[in-house]
Amino acid sequence: MKPFSNQAIFIFVTILVITLLYLLAPIMTPFLLGALLAYLVNPLVKRLEKWHLPHLLSVILIFLFLFSATTLLISFLYPHIIRQIEVLFAMIPQLIEWTKTVGMPWLLQFINMNTLKSSLPSTLSKTGWVVTAFVHSSFAAIQLIISIVLTPVVTFYLLRDWDRILDNIKNLLPAQSAHSIIQLARDCDEVLSAFIRGQLIVMLCLGLIYGIGLSIVGLRLGLIIGLIGGLLSIVPYLGSLFVVIAASITAFLQTGTYESILYVLIVFVIGQAIEGYILTPYLIGERIGLHPVAVIFSIMAGGTLFGFFGILLALPVAAVLMAIARFFSQRYYHT
């Protein structure tokens, strides 16, 4: 009767955790980010422990290293980004003029304004829209500040108690299936850790490639566009789309010639070639094993079910599901 009891407890706790994560999604950002950072950094802590350093000291050293590296990176990029933001503000009047004379006429060819107007709620006044937008933006700013403050705190405590948390989870596993569950978790961990670490390195490399490349061809906003494109590449195709559109518009506004757009496209093609033939194969490889159509479907399904976070988590979840499928497939064909 005891194994059945343990199994029932395990299933109940799993369902409860998933339900709470879904219901508390609006406030989960710092906790999810902290858990992700702790998960990614924990191998470094283990490596220091192999050098006979105490666990708490290893956590403190890694935490100080990450904080120092982040501070140095921000201090290095800050003046360059500030200069590019100043350039961006100086280009705003030109951008508005281009939007009125070129962008909007082109867009209106594909949009029926009467249909667009009729789709807006008739009860929505301009004042109400402004107030709503202000409230939402203020709430988002407060959430961002809270996340920035809480994420390092959550990361530190999770790193400190990582082994204890894993031991508590293992104690909840049903005895008769604990070995299989642990093996499955190891397989998922191998795939997920390789994918996430590889994806983060790919994002960093793409940001540098696009930023440096666009700056070399003379784009004054090249660095900031490249860095944003690298960050957005966490969502497949989004970073590439942003770089092409933003850099092309900026290049045309800066020079007024279509030749500058050609240079942007050359940088983009080079970046895509480096990503497709060097970065992704060597850093991520075939870890997920998803067909490109399956990748697109996973992203759209994640966005439909869980919004923006669903898009971010679509490929990691798909990687875990593929690891689970391989695990059960191997057990099925070897029994």
Q: Is 124 a residue whose pLDDT tops 50?
A: no
Are 186 and 279 part of one and the same domain?
Answer: yes
299 shares a domain with 180: yes
Structural domain count, the chain = 2
Residues 157, 199: one domain? Answer: no
239 vs 6, which has greater pLDDT? 239
Q: Which of 15-19, 119-123, 151-155 has the lowest mean pLDDT?
A: 119-123
Residue 134 inside a domain? The answer is yes
d(CA 297, CA 300) in angstroms, rounded, equals 5
User: What are 202-228's pLDDT values in tens digits?
Assistant: 888 999 999 999 999 888 888 889 989
Same domain, 220 and 327: yes
198 with 263, same domain?
yes
The single residue listed with the structure tokens 């966490």 is 234
| Bigger pLDDT: 137 vs 8 | 8
Query: Both 292 and 324 in a single domain?
Result: yes
Per-residue model confidence as pLDDT tens digits over 146-205: 778 888 888 889 888 888 888 888 887 777 777 888 888 888 887 787 778 888 888 889
Q: What tokens appear for 234 in the block?
A: 């966490």
Please, are residues 306 and 300 in contact by the beta-carbon 8 Å criterion? no
C-alpha distances in Å from residue 332, one per residue of 164, 240, 291, 326, 328: 33, 41, 23, 10, 6
Task: Give dist(CA 191, CA 323) in Å, integer.
Answer: 7
Query: pLDDT-based confidence at 270, cuts 50/70/90?
Result: very high
115 found inside a domain: no
| Amino acid symbol at 35 | A
**Would 200 be classed as within a structural domain?**
yes
Alpha helices in the chain (DSSP H): 2-23, 29-50, 55-98, 104-108, 113-118, 126-160, 162-172, 178-216, 222-232, 238-255, 259-274, 292-333
Secondary structure letter of residue 258 according to DSSP: S
Contact call for residues 48 and 58 (beta carbons, < 8 A): yes
Among candidates 69, 74, 76, 15, which has minimal Cα distance to 37? 69
Tell me if 111 is assigned to some domain.
no
Q: What is the DSSP string of 36-84?
A: HHHHHHHHHHHHHHHTT--HHHHHHHHHHHHHHHHHHHHHHHHHHHHHH
Q: Which of 176, 182, 179 is nearest to 4 (CA)?
A: 176
Are residues 250 and 300 both part of a single domain? yes
CA dihedral for 242, 247, 252, 257, sign (positive or negative) = negative
Residue 225 sits in which domain range? 176-335
Residue 131 lies in a domain: yes
CA atoms of 59 and 161, how far apart (whole Å): 10
| In the chain, % of residues over pLDDT 90 | 7
Q: Are 316 and 196 in contact (CB under 8 A)?
A: yes
Q: Are residues 186 and 162 in the same domain?
A: no
